[in-house]
Amino acid sequence: AQSVTQPDIHITVSEGASLELRCNYSYGATPYLFWYVQSPGQGLQLLLKYFSGDTLVQGIKGFEAEFKRSQSSFNLRKPSVHWSDAAEYFCAVGLTGGSYIPTFGRGTSLIVHP
Amino acid sequence: DSGVTQTPKHLITATGQRVTLRCSPRSGDLSVYWYQQSLDQGLQFLIQYYNGEERAKGNILERFSAQQFPDLHSELNLSSLELGDSALYFCASSRQGEEQFFGPGTRLTVL
């Protein structure tokens, strides 16, 4: 069965600093990969997705993620964090083809210091 | 705004009661998914419907049931509620299946 690991429960960064949130997955083939963001009291919003092709994916709000097959990773990055980026971030993996039900990681809570 | 709507936003009820959560998917989306989010379990997939039919089942309790109506809106029914059922319940919809759009959620509190 597929699984997703987000090893960092909390990450604290200063505003303007760079950010990298880690995500590792376990799956036999190349899955669909996603990053979602959840602001307090809100639903999940899709930041970016990887299905195939270029392994560096650009998303909304200045985020990007890189798929590394050899490391089974799909880390999320942002060069300069804004206070409004404080939220919960979820990595998700889905099967290619067939009934698509993503598996979500436990999430990483991002705290941004002014 | 994802285009997915959920009602009510908040629900407070007592143990043993039954509640119904409602979801309207984005226009044109045939698939509806239900998730439960709690602090100890994270985001758990409950059930998926596609064009009125059950497509996939996840960690859904027997006390819970769902359905999708001809107009594609969906309802999640939770019965014999327990304290542990307190959680955020999200609905998501999709068109082709790969990308899901989430609603704002219903916060259920069981007292």
As a whole number, the mean pLDDT across chain A is 91
| pLDDT interval class at A85 (50, 70, 90) | very high
Q: What is the pLDDT along chain B (111 residues), one digit of tens a residue?
A: 889 999 999 999 999 999 999 999 999 999 999 999 998 888 999 999 999 999 999 889 999 999 999 999 999 999 999 999 999 999 999 987 678 899 999 999 999
Rounded mean pLDDT, A55-84: 95
How close, in Å, is residue B98 to chain A by CA atoms?
6
CB distance A101–B58 less than 8 Å? yes
- Given a contact cutoff of 8 angstroms between Cβ atoms, the answer to whether A92 and A36 are in contact is yes
Considering only CB atoms, which chain A residues are within 8 Å of B90? 43-44
Question: In this model, does residue A98 exceed pLDDT 70?
Answer: no
Question: In this model, does residue A30 exceed pLDDT 80?
Answer: no
* A24-55 burial: b if 16+ Cβ within 10 Å, else e: bbebeeebbbbbbbbeeeebbbbbbbbeeeee
How close, in Å, is residue A77 to chain B by CA atoms?
21
**Which of A37-41, A57-61, A71-75, B5-9 is predicted with the least confidence, judged by mean pLDDT?**
A37-41
- Which residue do the tokens 């392994």 mark? A55
**Which chain B residue has the Cα nearest residue A41?**
B104
**CA neighbor of B34 nearest in space, from B98, B80, B83, B94:** B94
